[in-house]
Structure 1
């Protein structure tokens, strides 16, 4: 990781748009290369009843902040109901998943420390990964383990 020496600013309209494996939209605000590797940041939009399958990040701490909607998280053996305003900080190597359990489209802020994983969403978009097999192949390059 290299130091960054000036503010990283993401003005409206300058974000990068990608997608989440469950089909929701992702807006990426900060990339690792913009923050000297310190972090990556995005916002996830998810329809009711959707969310990723159980997975494990092997490289980064992941931070979630519920902005709109009601989510349920499974972190290791723990189940957490997460209304608006909930923040969850998850260290590496903890199997987890989340789901929008409300009846309205949800939004969450996501941050990874160190950065780098945010590019996963951009790769899904760039490569048109539309099958579980294609998604899993991309995940492996980002230190993400399914299950």
Structure 2
């Protein structure tokens, strides 16, 4: 078995089709790790990840930079760099950039989304 080195700066970034000003890179997919998927995300100023839930996955996201308003189960929380949120299957959640700088984040799905 061999390891894999991934340079996210070399990966293609694409706009998420269901959210506003939210861009993704699929860092780790089931092809590399069958236990999880890892995605690098960027929410531009004024952008948001609209309210949604995942029926089959837990989504864990870790804020790397920027300032975001997270709504989960009807409760709102403001987050910055170093904050982590875990949304179990079926739990509705959203994330809105409330600052002037992009919100950079990592999103981890277990089991994998892709």
Same fold (TM over 0.5): yes
Deviation at 1:46, TM superposition (A): 1.2
Residue of 19, 22, 33 corresponding to 2:15: 19
CA distance in 1, matches of 2:91, 2:64: 23
Matches within 5 A, 1:1-147: 6-20=2-16, 21-36=19-34, 38-116=35-113, 119=114
Is the Cα–Cα contact under 8 Å of residues 22 and 49 in structure 2 kept in the other structure? Answer: no
TM-score by length of 1: 0.69
Judge which range, 90-99 or 15-24, deviates more.
15-24
Q: TM-score, normalised by structure 2?
A: 0.86
Q: Pick the structure with more helix per residue.
A: 1
Which structure: larger Rg?
Answer: 1
Uncovered stretches (5+) of structure 2, i.e. residues with no partner: none
As a proportion of its length, which structure holds more strand?
2
Counterpart secondary structure, 2:50:
coil
Return the offset for 1:60. Answer: 0.3
4+ residue segments displaced more than 4 Å: none
Contact 2:70 2:78 (8 Å CA) reproduced: yes
Q: 1:22 Cα deviation (Å)? A: 1.7
> Do the aligned partners of residues 12 and 58 (structure 1) sit closer, same or farther apart at CA in structure 2, a change above 3 Å counting?
closer
The change in CA–CA distance for 1:14 and 1:72 in structure 2 (over 3 A counts) is same
